[in-house]
Amino acid sequence: MAYSDKVVDHFNNPRNMGSFKKDEEGVGTGMVGAPECGDVMKLQIKVQNDTIVDAKFKTFGCGSAIASSSLATEWLKGKTIEEAQKIKNTDIVQELNLPPVKIHCSVLAEDAIKAALADYQKKADGTATDAK
């Protein structure tokens, strides 16, 4: 199967690969997938004043899974929480030109974004409650 140039580019030069400390303030972590299925994505966001100021990923999976999560971190940076919620897997499919058999990689990336946002929200709510 031939990969699109964009997939190859993200695979060879992954953007924002790495990790934040999970307990760092403003950090939300999403981990989706399973090793048995052949792909696991960890996506992290760092939020300040409702805006995602930084994002990082680590992915176990095929080239398209790596590219999908790399692209997701690129898109997340600078977005508000609300804007980030709107990223759809179909946007990733279109941008990376993913073939049908690789659509699940984009679904996983969307799930990872949602999970990271939810984790951030949960932590933020928790902090708010503590403050009371």
Partner 1 sequence: MKLPIFLDNHSTTPMDPRVLETMLPYFVEKFGNAASRNHAFGWAAEEAVENARKQIAKLIKADPKEIVFTSGATESDNLAIKGVLEMYGEKGNHIITSSTEHRAVLDTVKVLEGKGKATVTCLPVDKFGMVSPEDVRNAITEKTILISVMLANNEIGTINPVKEIGKIAKEKGILFHCDATQGVGKIPVDVQEMGIDLMSFTAHKLYGPKGVGALYVRKKNPRVRIVAQMDGGGHERGMRSGTLPVPLIVGFGKACELCEQEMAQDTARLLAMRERLETSIMKALEESYLNGHPTNRLPGNLNISFAYVEGESLLMGMKDIALSSGSACTSATLEPSYVLRALGVGTELAHSSIRFGLGRFNTDDEIDYTIKKVIEIVTKLREMSPLYEMAKEGVDLKSVQWAAH
For partner 1, the binding residues in 28-47 under the rule CB under 8 A are 31-42
Q: What is the C-alpha to C-alpha distance for residues 68 and 91, in angstroms, rounded to an integer?
A: 10
Q: Which residues contact 6 (CB under 8 A, 6 or more apart)?
A: 67, 71, 95, 96, 97
Shortest distance (Å) from residue 56 CB to partner 1: 11
Among 10, 14, 92, 95, binds partner 1 (CB under 8 A): 14
For partner 1, the binding residues in 76-95 under the rule CB under 8 A are none
Question: Could you say which of 5, 8, 18, 37 is catalytic?
Answer: 37
Alpha carbon distances (Å) from 60 to 21, 35, 53, 67: 19, 8, 24, 11
Overall size of the chain counted in residues: 132
Does residue 56 interact with partner 1 by CB under 8 A? no
Question: Could you say which of 47, 62, 105, 115 is catalytic?
Answer: 105
Known catalytic residue at 37:
yes
Known catalytic residue at 62:
no
Does residue 96 interact with partner 1 by CB under 8 A? no
